[in-house]
Structure 1
Amino acid sequence: MKKKLLLIFLVAVVLQSSAQPAFVKDSLDAYINEGLKQWNIPGLAIAIIKDGKTVVMKGYGYRDVKTKQPVDENTLFMIASNSKLFTGTALAKLEFDKKLSLDDKITKYFPGYSVYDSATTNLLTIKDMLGHHLGTKTFQGDFTFWNASLSRQQIMEKMKLLKPAGSFRQSYGYCNSCFLTAGEVIPVVSGISWEEYIQQNILSPLNMTNTYPLSAGISQRTNVSKPYTTAFSGTLTELPYDQVDNLAPAGSIVSSVKDVAKWLSMQLDSGKFEGRQVLPWSVIQRTRDANTLISTRKNRLYPSHFTTYGLGVFETDYSGRQIFWHTGGADGFVTNTCFVPEEKLAITILTNNDNQNFFEALRYQVLDAYLNRPFIDRSQEQLKFFTAENDEVLNTVKSLKARVKANKPELPLNAYIGNYSNTLYGAISVEAKGKNLVVQFKGHRDLTASLQYMDNGEWLLSYSNPAFGIFPLKFKIQNDKVVSTDIKVNDFLEYDPYTFVKN
């Protein structure tokens, strides 16, 4: 009898092992290690859940390139916008508890709140905010809000200055300040802050003991990855940690793949974790209901035909399956989460270089393996596009730097010195530093930029935080007086430049 039971056990183990695709069993380590080299990524952590079991949970490379401290399953990363589904889930639970309705107007909770258009103000609901329905451009306002010294309330007040480029409820524009606003309804109806609600109702019940709702103090935590980029320089550069707790409901959570795997396991088990019903199934369903139609066009690289957005999660078809996913980008970090309930499959990948797309190529490679798709090297497929675009940026920066040749600007330095302002951002100042100029950004903590004159009225703008980028800048001059200037930041933060008028 014992021999028979042992045989059954061994057969079960073999069947469980054989259920994993050959790519995952035999090639995953080599694929990831090669990808880290090709994409210049210091470290990566991955977890794969299949059929109720964590089949992969592992770290690769380094969390700190100087000390060579390795990444493991407990290494902390900023998961950025992967925080959004936590916010959407919290609000869906509050609706389930009859504390609010997602169709409630925002002005019900914030009577003095307004956006650019008064008609939109009167119609805006919590669900609109969670669906990016405002009509603004993707990332609009983020240069003003991201890493800024503004409070959550001050950000909400400034949203009335965001002039929409599109139409309310008709144009999709990814909006971090909208998610902040929706998240700030939580303390109004629950009596506790967003971070306390997330901790008490999601993180603690899931035993996510190595997850932190806020990014404050991240540098002092043990086993935490440092953030890096290769943007604008081509070489791996360490960045300061983002300070985005003022946008917390949109992207402040810090976690590890071991903890994110618990969150994803709950997603696959209809709100249950380790046999306990952590969240009602109807709450989980509510977060996945399509709230925003983004696209109904076939993807040129992947077998998908539509993309929608729920309450903090994207949804698409992929090889005939329903895929839920999100990515997260903070300076120095890009991450993803993905779950396929029909396949009882979930994936999370956390990385510490923000200038790469291997983290997404790897996700699709794992999906392809489990969905029995023919092998296509997704990393190589995307690397050729990335390399061409990245080389163009690096060549542009190189050519700009080559134009710094001790030429004299059009006007004496003191003509440029002074205070400037932008209606949304607020104040900056331009000061002299030797033969160059320095910009002080009053709305940010310790952010400056140097200005070196090139030629033809253009200056080389280089931010003190490398994540913000390197760009040409030109002052508008009328009657031998400086009138204004346009200032650009990395598209990773915001796409459009800001016009600052000299006071």
Structure 2
Amino acid sequence: MKLLHTFLLLLPFSVWGQSIATDSLDAYISKLVSDQEYNIPGLAIGVIHNDSVVFKKGYGLTSLEQGHPINTQTVFPILSCTKAFTATGIGILVDEGKLNWNDKVKEHLPDFELSDPWITKEIAISDLLAHRSGLRAFDGDLLWYGSNHTTQEVIEKIRHYPIKGSFRLDFNYNNVMYLVAGKIIEQVSGMPWEEFMQTKIFDVLGMQGSSAKFSELTKSPKYVRPHIANKPIIPVSLDNAVAAGGINSSIDDMLLWIQMCLNKGTLNKKQVLSRNNFETMTSPKIPLNNRGSGSYGFGWYIDYEDSKKVLYHGGGMPGYKSIMALYPEEKIGIVVLTNKITMINEGLMNMISSYIINPELTDWSQNRKYFTYFSYSWDRPENIQISPNIPSSFAKYCGVYEDKVYGQAQVKMVNSDAILELVPSKDKLSGRLFFLDKQRFKVKFKDTFLPSGEVVFEMDKNQNIMGFKLVVPNDDFNFDNLHFRKKEQVNPHK
């Protein structure tokens, strides 16, 4: 996730109480949320400056279908902002003398393996937290996304993924490595990760509405529903990827977390993390690229604006988005949570911080151009203009297939439709097949998060089906890791 720079506020406010004219800001956000260009179902925001909460409010509804008004106690998934909590958990154990940042992973998880034996032996906790394992960005995400694989199974399966990057040299954002860090917390503390977060962070800070279980998010009929194409969808459970993105929280709770971070580990004289280990987490560990100043620490992106440090992290899942940012030298902290993916989170973050830092430079009339509309292609309904005709030879495609790492898939007829079902994630990754030619079918998954793709069948010289691969162009999942081999022929109508 990339910070947008030089955001400017639009209105020359003459009087700002506690850094922000709250009535004017409230009116502006209300208008922005309801703007047809964004059409945000719901948003919650909180701002801290100089050790005080200067603005917090909820907007819109939990759902566009019989939803409830959002306020600052409404619970959202914070998604990958969770990573800073997991890194803090490791820091707490360092403070307690139970491990060190540079301990080898194998010291605490003897059965852990990657496909490269040398990296397996050398990889340290710090490498997990800094995304420098050598795995590609997002490798392994299909193992947990909407699947029935447990966290432990995901960790065990990642050993089969090839290392295509340079260990400790390449930054490649990888969620599964945070699951490994979560398992280390469990192993060393003797507590489930969720209990550790509750005991060591939530309870200490007074984050009474926060949790780390999907059932806690959805137990209330008023829970925030994610939206795609302006329709509420069923959220994806992150219970098997909880240490990478599974915390649920509210603006009121997240402001306590942000205040603790601005105070470098302490809130109201209660220490969560030592100042030294907070500084360790938030110092650069690996550059994001060779062109700019951006880097990653442990659970935080790090950048500089006018030579002043900015710490931030965001998260996204189908129909949800989160972002949090700290400007330590300016004593500013901002959190924005939404139930739709657009760039409004980044826009508000940069707009508000820019005004607080340089109010004399703002020009309200220029603001709109910085709030560029942003929506992934799957946030608009996709209309497939292809005939669903099924070839007379379709029976030969039907059967049970298996990828040795991911698991099984089935190709079958359901009523009069040709269907592909990826069994571990069948509620999300099942879809209708549309005939293109004898080797290719277009597939449109149930999951509206994903664009349509292609199933490319492999045949021997006698035109017998041997297996298939998936081509699904997207920025979030590496379908090219999957290679399904045919196990058995089945009756297409069963």
Paired residue type of 1:322: K
Residue 165 of structure 1 and its aligned partner are, at CA, apart by 1.9
Correspondence 1:26-105 to 2 at 5 A: 26-37=24-35, 38-105=37-104
Q: Secondary structure at the match of 1:184?
A: helix
Would you say 1:247 and 2:245 are equivalent positions? Answer: no
What's the CA shift string for 1:462-482, capped at 9, x where partnerless?
222322342233323343222
What's the CA shift string for 1:436-456, capped at 9, x where partnerless?
212222222634523332434
Q: Is the 8 A contact 1:368 1:375 kept in 2?
A: no
Q: Is the 8 A contact 2:408 2:422 kept in 1?
A: yes
Correspondence 1:409-420 to 2 at 5 A: 409=391, 412-420=393-401
Q: 1:483 aligns with which of 466, 475, 484?
A: 466
Equivalence for 2:316? 329
Q: 1:259 aligns with which of 243, 253, 259?
A: 253
Q: Is the 8 A contact 2:92 2:272 kept in 1?
A: no
Paired residue type of 2:486: K
Paired residue type of 2:356: Y
Correspondence 1:293-442 to 2 at 5 A: 293-297=287-291, 305-354=292-341, 356-372=342-358, 373-375=361-363, 380-381=369-370, 383=372, 386=374, 390=377, 397-398=382-383, 401-404=384-387, 406-409=388-391, 412-442=393-423
Partners in 1 of 2:142 and 2:457 — Cα distance? 20
Q: Secondary structure at the match of 2:288?
A: strand
Percent identity of equivalent pairs: 24
Q: Cα 1:270–1:217, aligned 2, differ >3 Å: closer, same or farther?
A: closer
Paired residue type of 1:427: Q
Equivalence for 1:302? none
Partners in 2 of 1:249 and 1:214 — Cα distance? 11
Q: Is the 8 A contact 1:440 1:447 kept in 2?
A: no
Partners in 1 of 2:111 and 2:67 — Cα distance? 51
Partners in 2 of 1:490 and 1:348 — Cα distance? 31
Residue 271 of structure 1 and its aligned partner are, at CA, apart by 2.1
Residue 288 of structure 1 and its aligned partner are, at CA, apart by 0.8
Paired residue type of 1:62: L
Partners in 1 of 2:412 and 2:38 — Cα distance? 38
Equivalence for 2:486? 502
Residue 145 of structure 1 and its aligned partner are, at CA, apart by 1.8
Say what the alpha-carbon RMSD is for the aligned residues: 2.5
Paired residue type of 2:167: F
Equivalence for 2:179? 180
Q: Secondary structure at the match of 2:424?
A: coil
Segment drifting more, 240-249 vs 278-287: 278-287
Partners in 2 of 1:239 and 1:151 — Cα distance? 23
Q: Is the 8 A contact 1:407 1:455 kept in 2?
A: no
Aligned length: 468
Would you say 1:471 and 2:460 are equivalent positions? Answer: no
Q: Is the 8 A contact 1:49 1:261 kept in 2?
A: yes
Partners in 2 of 1:186 and 1:378 — Cα distance? 44
Residue 25 of structure 1 and its aligned partner are, at CA, apart by 5.3
Residue 18 of structure 1 and its aligned partner are, at CA, apart by 4.0
5+ unaligned residues in a row in structure 1: which ranges? 1-14, 231-235, 298-304
Paired residue type of 2:432: L
Paired residue type of 1:163: P
Paired residue type of 1:481: N
Q: TM-score, normalised by structure 1?
A: 0.87
Residue 176 of structure 1 and its aligned partner are, at CA, apart by 0.6
Partners in 2 of 1:108 and 1:174 — Cα distance? 23
Q: Cα 1:228–1:492, aligned 2, differ >3 Å: closer, same or farther?
A: farther
Q: Cα 1:489–1:43, aligned 2, differ >3 Å: closer, same or farther?
A: farther
Equivalence for 1:300? none
Would you say 1:142 and 2:131 are equivalent positions? Answer: no
Q: Is the 8 A contact 2:282 2:300 kept in 1?
A: yes
Q: Cα 1:461–1:247, aligned 2, differ >3 Å: closer, same or farther?
A: same
Q: Is the 8 A contact 2:458 2:466 kept in 1?
A: yes
Partners in 1 of 2:363 and 2:422 — Cα distance? 49
Q: Secondary structure at the match of 2:169?
A: coil
Partners in 1 of 2:32 and 2:428 — Cα distance? 36
Q: Secondary structure at the match of 2:209?
A: coil
Residue 496 of structure 1 and its aligned partner are, at CA, apart by 4.0
What's the CA shift string for 1:73-126, capped at 9, x where partnerless?
011111111001111011011111110011111111121211010010010001
What's the CA shift string for 1:151-183, capped at 9, x where partnerless?
221111111111122111111111111011011
Paired residue type of 1:268: L
Q: Is the 8 A contact 2:95 2:273 kept in 1?
A: no
What's the CA shift string for 1:271-301, capped at 9, x where partnerless?
222343343222321211222221353xxxx
Partners in 2 of 1:487 and 1:238 — Cα distance? 28
Partners in 2 of 1:475 and 1:217 — Cα distance? 42
Paired residue type of 2:324: T
Equivalence for 1:170? 169
5+ unaligned residues in a row in structure 2: which ranges? 1-13, 488-494
Q: Secondary structure at the match of 1:132?
A: coil
Q: Secondary structure at the match of 2:62?
A: strand
Q: TM-score, normalised by structure 2?
A: 0.88
Partners in 1 of 2:420 and 2:390 — Cα distance? 19
Paired residue type of 1:214: K
Equivalence for 1:451? 432
Q: Is the 8 A contact 1:227 1:241 kept in 2?
A: yes
Q: Secondary structure at the match of 2:372?
A: helix
Q: Is the 8 A contact 2:454 2:472 kept in 1?
A: no
Q: Is the 8 A contact 1:430 1:437 kept in 2?
A: yes
Partners in 2 of 1:222 and 1:279 — Cα distance? 35
Q: Is the 8 A contact 1:314 1:326 kept in 2?
A: yes
Equivalence for 1:9? none
- Runs of 4+ that moved beyond 6 A: none
Partners in 1 of 2:367 and 2:104 — Cα distance? 43
Q: Secondary structure at the match of 1:260?
A: helix
Partners in 2 of 1:421 and 1:465 — Cα distance? 21
Paired residue type of 1:266: M
Paired residue type of 2:335: T
Q: Is the 8 A contact 1:467 1:490 kept in 2?
A: no
Residue 408 of structure 1 and its aligned partner are, at CA, apart by 4.5
Paired residue type of 2:444: S
Equivalence for 1:6? none
Partners in 2 of 1:407 and 1:188 — Cα distance? 53
Partners in 1 of 2:442 and 2:432 — Cα distance? 5
Q: Secondary structure at the match of 1:67?
A: coil
Would you say 1:281 and 2:275 are equivalent positions? Answer: yes
Q: Secondary structure at the match of 1:99?
A: coil
